[in-house]
Copies of this chain bind each other. A is one copy, B any other.
Amino acid sequence: MLQKMTLMENKPLILITNDDGVFAKGIKELVRAVKDLGEIVVVAPDKAQSGKGHGVTLDMPLWYRPAKLDEEIRAFKCSGTPADCVKIALFKILDRKPDLILSGINHGSNSSVNILYSGTMGAAMEGALHKIPSIGFSLLNFAPDSDFTTAGEYARKITQKVLSSISEKPVCLNVNIPYDDPQNIKGIKICRQASGEWREFFDERYHPSNRRPYYWLTGNYYNFEPEATDTDEWALSNGYVSVQPVTCDCTDYSAMEALQIGIEGL
């Protein structure tokens, strides 16, 4: 018995979160894919938090409660954003620092500029700020009942690899997985973030009583560099799992010198 407990304590602690909410299929599939790789604790939003980016909740208090997700693991639902979930897990719920943070599996792509809007990646980047290896996983399918089998297999392989190299520089990874059968996936590509933008279309509708307009945010993604072969967009549209190493340093080092000349003297 004592031996078993010691063994448990030596298992890596893996915090799992997401942005689709604790009851989404993607997080259940992620738990299932990695649950034997460590001691798992889930702290995830109590509702969908897509598009919240790295946002945190400052104007309202937060709460968390136990959630039923998988009988064998501890799980909590939290009223905040994905980044809030990581913060409350690290500084309130967990009694030790996790060895790894996993976020997802997101229902929908977080490639290219989507990383900036992504709650999934906001959570992973929050982990990285605290020097904890963190990985966000996303499947290129929005459907609530998507088949996560292949995504789960890649999530497991990449998690194992990161756990086995944990003593090196902590990594933050943005992993996107094509929605396809495993035999059609050509492998994994380490990629940079494609440069692009969303060209928005605001779907105008009218309030049923006061007739005032309101707008749904919709749009189309436009890739500024479709020819480049080293981007996540290229990898995904050519049948690869894309893995983008992520930094939380937003400094544009290439612009510093010109700005020193132009602005420091003002």
Q: Is A4 part of the contact surface with B, judged by Cβ < 8 Å?
A: no
A64 neighbours in B (Cβ, 8 Å): 215
CB contact between A190 and one of B57, B200, B264 (< 8 Å): that residue: B264
| Known contacts A63-B214, A246-B251; A256/B192 CB under 8 A | yes
> Which DSSP category, helix, strand, loop or mixed, fits chain A's interface?
mixed
Q: Is A213 part of the contact surface with B, judged by Cβ < 8 Å?
A: yes
| Chain A positions 227 through 264: 1 when the CB is less than 8 Å from some CB of chain B, otherwise 0 | 00000000000000001111111111111101110111
A90 to B247 Cα, complex, angstroms: 28
CB atoms of A246 and B256 under 8 A apart: no
CB distance from A159 to the nearest CB of B (A): 11
For A260, give the chain B residue with the smallest CB separation: B190
Q: From A10-18, A34-42, A112-120, give the one contacting chain B.
A: A112-120
CB distance from A10 to the nearest CB of B (A): 23
- The contact sample of 24 A-B pairs, CB cut-off 8 A, is A48-B59, A51-B59, A55-B119, A57-B217, A61-B205, A87-B200, A92-B202, A115-B250, A116-B250, A125-B250, A129-B198, A131-B197, A158-B263, A161-B263, A165-B262, A172-B252, A173-B259, A187-B266, A188-B263, A190-B263, A193-B251, A245-B256, A246-B252, A248-B250
